Structure 1
């Protein structure tokens, strides 16, 4: 009996340490919503290209006019805002159910660690956009996003690093297939997010 209580106490202490050092309230459903938003956004971008008479998959360097660039930036911003909003809503609800704080020192460290490679990648993408090197933007977003996920693993669920590795590999692979960036981007931000979200929802629900 004492042995059983001893193991239960150790398990409780280990759980408390895990909660204090890692942000464990990330919701898998937020990944699913983010993935769906990315797929819908990518499909809309494809039809925008068709509307403009651009054969994106020809592997050629296309020149996008200012109006088209602004439209693409708006689409990307809407996808990002949808992902952030859904992530906050689902994570806040999960934290509330578990009786955990959503904003503490661990959360701050997580966001900072995640933001450094992500912001760096965003600046790189702006530079590519400025120089009209559009075919390199999709690989760059995948690679820097993957690096951000791997960096953030230290302060959240360990499983997130595997999603990061997949994003990095996709980004590097897409550099050898320029002109197909939209496909790789859809797989990375859309399909992989949905698969990862469903797995995490089942594992940690």
Structure 2
């Protein structure tokens, strides 16, 4: 029995070394939770500023009349709101991921993390330019479905370089984005669910599965990651 345990431990260590070289396993569940809470805060700010219900935001037929602001004021507000949400979410993700990496005795900047950033950056940059094109052509009601769908595809692409659980979040984002394409009056609600609620749920599950300190088992997800 002792020899079997030693063999199992050796195999686990080998697997851990292989995964560390190909996958970024310091991604913290608290990053997802914080990003979701920040996104919900940004959505709440939009709801209060635009003075409309969650179910009447960017109706494709009447998106010009849903707010007392001018189009320029609307664009400026949404740009500032989105920029603040993105900046705070990135800072929170960096903080919690760096903290987890330090606790694991690992470096954040590795070949695996560089591949992960590349897998995230390219499609997100394309999505950003595409959304700017939609705004330029005054197709505002298409921005939310586009953001959610592109983001889901980005997560599917990035899941190859970190925990495979990211696939499930990506699939949920894609489904929500496609639904919001046909239910355009629900854009703010869909955005809140996609970037807020789903991130909180995903981050909580990831924290319970990989980050929560437990006795008698590793907390870096090497044994439970598939």
Determine helix, strand or coil for the equivalent of 2:109: coil
* Residue of 114, 121, 128 corresponding to 1:108: 114
CA distance in 1, matches of 2:146, 2:158: 18
The equivalent of 1:160 in structure 2 is 166
Deviation at residue 7 of structure 1 after TM alignment: 1.9
Deviation at residue 11 of structure 1 after TM alignment: 1.2
Aligned residues: CA RMSD: 1.4
How many matched pairs?
A: 202
CA distance in 1, matches of 2:154, 2:59: 31
The equivalent of 1:42 in structure 2 is 43
Whether contact under 8 Å (1:95, 1:101) holds in the other structure is yes
CA distance in 2, matches of 1:130, 1:58: 18
Can you list the C-alpha shifts for 1:107-142, whole angstroms capped at 9, x where unaligned?
Answer: 111111111211111111000111111110000000
Structure 2: runs of 5+ lacking an equivalent: 65-69, 212-226
More divergent stretch after superposition (28-37 vs 61-70): 61-70
More helix by share: 1
CA spacing shift, 1:182–1:198, aligned 2, 3 Å: same
The equivalent of 1:13 in structure 2 is 14
Tell whether 2:205 aligns with 1:204: no
Determine helix, strand or coil for the equivalent of 1:178: coil
Tell whether 2:199 aligns with 1:189: no
The equivalent of 2:91 in structure 1 is 85
List structure 1 runs of 4+ shifted beyond 3 angstroms: none
* Residue of 128, 147, 164 corresponding to 1:122: 128
Tell whether 2:146 aligns with 1:146: no
CA distance in 2, matches of 1:36, 1:175: 24
Whether contact under 8 Å (1:174, 1:180) holds in the other structure is yes
Determine helix, strand or coil for the equivalent of 1:102: coil
Structure 1: runs of 5+ lacking an equivalent: none
